[in-house]
Amino acid sequence: SAVEKAIKLHKAYQKSEQKREDFEEYLEDLLNVITELAEKIFSYILNYLREEYDIEVENLSSEELIASFYSADGKTIFDRIQEYAEEKDLTSFTYKFYRCCRSETAGLINRCIFNSLKDKFKYVTVRLSNECGDCDAGILSGWVETSKVNLSDLPPFHPDCCCSVEFSNEKPKGRK
């Protein structure tokens, strides 16, 4: 798994005698692990969307989706990985790297589904999860026209966010 690869890289880096010289290579390897994970997930989602919704996915690019990952704090996924790479403690590194993989996977799934279904549905909203006590759906606190939504408006809204997107062709009654 991606986390197991990252742990091996972290352990090897910590044992290294020439940390400064090895850091750039170590960081590049960690970024490659995340990119590889994102590409596998992206490929899986595209196959699912083709089969389930008969969607041609030429308009989706993995680069665009990766660039749109959660960044409420202004950091990119690559900034986060660089920060985690500098962790001295293996437990802390493992937790943060694993949390990042979960959160970014959720973001990739939500953005990919939105990008694929936005032309088939008129409205979208965020289904807030009971698992997230501190979620704020922001622009999607009610039903919004899909044409007015940016990829950055979609969950996750924080690490380990469990919220998802919901679509409709009619604005449901009784809900915002």
Q: What is the pLDDT of residues 78-135, one digit of tens each?
A: 788 888 888 889 999 998 888 888 887 787 788 878 887 888 899 988 877 666 666 7
Is 112 or 55 the better-scoring residue by pLDDT? 112
- The DSSP line for 2-66 is HHHHHHHHHHHHHH-S-HHHHHHHHHHHHHHHHHHHHHHHHHHHHHHHHHHH----TT--HHHHH
| Pairing between β-strand 123-127 and β-strand 144-145 as defined by DSSP bridges | antiparallel
Give 160's contacts (C-beta < 8 A, 6+ positions apart): 99, 102, 103, 132
Is 147 or 42 the better-scoring residue by pLDDT? 147
Please check the confidence at residue 60 and state whether its pLDDT lies above 80.
Answer: no
User: What's the average model confidence in pLDDT over 61-72?
Assistant: 60
Paired tokens of 82:
């660089």
pLDDT of residue 57: 58
The pTM score is 0.69
**Per-residue confidence at 151, pLDDT binned at 50, 70, 90?**
confident
Please check the confidence at residue 39 and state whether its pLDDT lies above 70.
Answer: yes
User: Distance between alpha carbon 78 and the CA centroid of its chain, in Å?
Assistant: 12
Please check the confidence at residue 140 and state whether its pLDDT lies above 70.
Answer: no
C-alpha span between 111 and 64 (Å, rounded): 10
